[in-house]
Structure 1
Amino acid sequence: MRESFLKYIQYEKRFSAHTITSYENDINQFEQFLTDNYGEKLEEASHNSIRHWVVSLVEKGTSPRSVNRKMASLRALYKFLLKREIITKDPTWKIQALKTNKALPQFVNEPDITRLLDQCEFSRDFEGKRDQLILELLYGTGIRLSELINLKTDDIDIYSNTIKVLGKRNKERIIPFSNNLKHVIEDYKQLKKMSVSAKEDEYLLVTETGDRCYPMLIYRTVKKYLNLFTTIEKRSPHVLRHTFATHLLNKGAELNAVKDLLGHSSLAATQVYTHNSLDKLKSVFDQAHPKA
């Protein structure tokens, strides 16, 4: 049953590998709780046993955001079981999400990201050029980590300065990029051809041994360089995506345009960046308006 659900979200819903792993871990954790406290199987869980699990998570210090994510996993599971007529009633019904403080996305300020990309001395070998390309792509296009790793060489159109990205739910979008990024891509591809015997030649970013890049390599690369140029707490690939969106809005880009570039399905997900833009607008107002 659990295996059928995991296959469903993998092959039919097209969830990312990271999301599937999170769902599986959440379900396994809840199943262990049921076994230890109620002697029930997943399909036998009741409204009360799920509420008890939520309370136990909170008492252990699990953040409301994490609890809500775990509940999203259970809701998806029981919706699947209901659809397959394995259960007749959804036990997650009427269990409300916990209130959370809306965390604003962290981003690198413009002077720091400019110094990183313009003044950092990347090594002239394949690894140095790949590191530069990773940073330039994340900040220059706002793509997600998973999209970066799955980016194929043929997805880059050097002539029109665009990349084709396959995002969540297999949604395809086209993102323009700068001439500066174009030069970095061309230099990288030339070094890659000379230096690496690529086993995964269809993918743009590869390791020194020719294998496709993996998430931890990207994380280590981003953290290594952000450590040199910024003091923000979070230093992950996603921070560069936040930085991309925030800087566009700060420069006057339309919210709908940023939404399309990020691959968001609704404006609600993009609007979180407007807070940072409003701070910038207020600063401009205070400096420029005669009555401020």
Structure 2
Amino acid sequence: MLEKVPGYKEFEKHMKDSSFSYNSCEAYKKDIDDFFIFIRYKPLNEIIKEDILNFIRDLKKVYSNNSINRKIISIRGYLKYFYKNGIIDSLPMEKIKNLPPEKRTLEILSLKEIDKLREVMDDSPKEYRDKIILDILYDTGILISEVLDLRCEDLISEDYKAITQIKGTKINKIPLDDSLSERLQIFIEEKRDELRNKNTKIFSSVSRQNYRARLIQYGKRAGLDREIYTHMIRNSVLKNILDTEGAHVVKERMGYSTIQNTSLYSSRNTGKIKEKYMEIGIGDE
């Protein structure tokens, strides 16, 4: 019950003003709510270190270290915001460290697997739409939430040659393949009656959860031996860019603040993937 969480409305406004992604906001929302349910909605200035340690002990009964670390990061960010703004006098998270991250294999899709997914999608309106979304994901490496948030203006302003993204104070332009650019222009023109307003979302008829479920079904139809998720496509794109063009290109193309943010895609550093997820927003789809 977020309405009972002290200060949440103010923190929610802070996240929006800071251009947090939809998925980051949702993760913070759940993690913070879980914590305050556990401590029975204590006032901010009454929260102590032992409350957080008890919460972590309780989480260990069910969650992996990586999932617990995400919750620690959320709680730390929440309390730090109120500490910096003088709402609370001390920071109970100050000496609480993240748990040792669990090493995971970077989940990627091969070009052959991508092609198989495309081949099973027919030209019916929904499947043609899904194929275009898949192509945008694979061509750009952006998040599914960012694809579904695309508006006509994001493409028209760039003559369909690039996607314009605004993250905080940064404007990032991601180029599109010529073939995809042409198909997107045709797709939008065919939907002109639905997209009269340039601020209308291009893919307003599909949700993130719906596309995720549909992608899993396409994977089954394609005979792939595992469930397919959108973050696997993003991982594949960014790792390929890093391997072929280097960290600077990944940094420039994806708008990362530092080159260190690209290190998780290096073949030598795949064990650091989950450790970095919440820090830079990778894999939160």
Asked if TM exceeds 0.5, the reply is yes
SS at 2:173 equivalent: strand
- Look up the equivalent residue of 1:24 and give its one-letter code: K
- In structure 2, the residue matched to 1:177 is 176
Determine if contact 1:203/1:212 at 8 Å carries over to the other structure. Answer: no
Q: Does 1:259 align with 2:251?
A: yes
1:104 & 1:171 partners in 2: Cα distance?
31
Determine if contact 1:64/1:100 at 8 Å carries over to the other structure. Answer: yes
When normalised by structure 1's length, the TM-score is 0.79
- In structure 2, the residue matched to 1:165 is 165
Determine if contact 2:45/2:89 at 8 Å carries over to the other structure. Answer: no
When normalised by structure 2's length, the TM-score is 0.81
SS at 2:217 equivalent: helix
Q: 1:16: how far off? A: 2.6
Q: Does 1:216 align with 2:209?
A: yes
- In the superposition, relative to structure 1, how do residues 166 and 238 fare at CA in structure 2: closer, same or farther (>3 Å)? farther
- In structure 2, the residue matched to 1:53 is 55
1:137 & 1:276 partners in 2: Cα distance?
28
Deviates more, 1:226-235 or 1:258-267: 226-235
- In structure 2, the residue matched to 1:149 is 148
Determine if contact 1:153/1:203 at 8 Å carries over to the other structure. Answer: yes
- In structure 1, the residue matched to 2:31 is 26
Determine if contact 2:215/2:228 at 8 Å carries over to the other structure. Answer: yes
Determine if contact 1:129/1:184 at 8 Å carries over to the other structure. Answer: no
- In structure 2, the residue matched to 1:242 is 235
Query: Identity of counterpart residues, as a percentage?
Result: 22
Indicate which of 250, 260, 263 corresponds to 1:271: 263
Q: 1:34: how far off? A: 1.8
1:248 & 1:228 partners in 2: Cα distance?
29
Gaps of 5+ in 2: 1-5, 271-285
1:122 & 1:264 partners in 2: Cα distance?
36
- In structure 2, the residue matched to 1:203 is 200
Gaps of 5+ in 1: 279-292
- In the superposition, relative to structure 1, how do residues 177 and 11 fare at CA in structure 2: closer, same or farther (>3 Å)? closer
- In structure 1, the residue matched to 2:110 is 109
Determine if contact 1:246/1:276 at 8 Å carries over to the other structure. Answer: no
Deviates more, 1:46-55 or 1:233-242: 233-242
Structure of greater relative contact order (alpha carbons < 8 Å, 6+ residues apart): 2
Determine if contact 1:150/1:203 at 8 Å carries over to the other structure. Answer: no
1:30 & 1:64 partners in 2: Cα distance?
16
| Post-superposition CA distance 1:49-75 (Å, at most 9, x none) | 2112111211x1211111111111211
- In the superposition, relative to structure 1, how do residues 114 and 74 fare at CA in structure 2: closer, same or farther (>3 Å)? same
1:77 & 1:245 partners in 2: Cα distance?
30
Q: 1:130: how far off? A: 1.0
Determine if contact 2:160/2:181 at 8 Å carries over to the other structure. Answer: no
- Look up the equivalent residue of 1:17 and give its one-letter code: Y
Deviates more, 1:158-167 or 1:125-134: 158-167
| Post-superposition CA distance 1:103-143 (Å, at most 9, x none) | 233111122223433x34522x4323211110110001111
Determine if contact 2:153/2:198 at 8 Å carries over to the other structure. Answer: no
Determine if contact 2:195/2:202 at 8 Å carries over to the other structure. Answer: no
- In structure 2, the residue matched to 1:127 is 126
Q: 1:81: how far off? A: 2.0
- Look up the equivalent residue of 1:178 and give its one-letter code: D
Q: 1:199: how far off? A: 7.4
- In structure 1, the residue matched to 2:95 is 94
Aligned residues between the structures: 264
Determine if contact 1:113/1:229 at 8 Å carries over to the other structure. Answer: no
SS at 1:247 equivalent: helix
| Post-superposition CA distance 1:175-205 (Å, at most 9, x none) | 1121221232133123323xx6347653352
Query: Which of the two has higher C-alpha Rg?
Result: 1
SS at 2:142 equivalent: coil
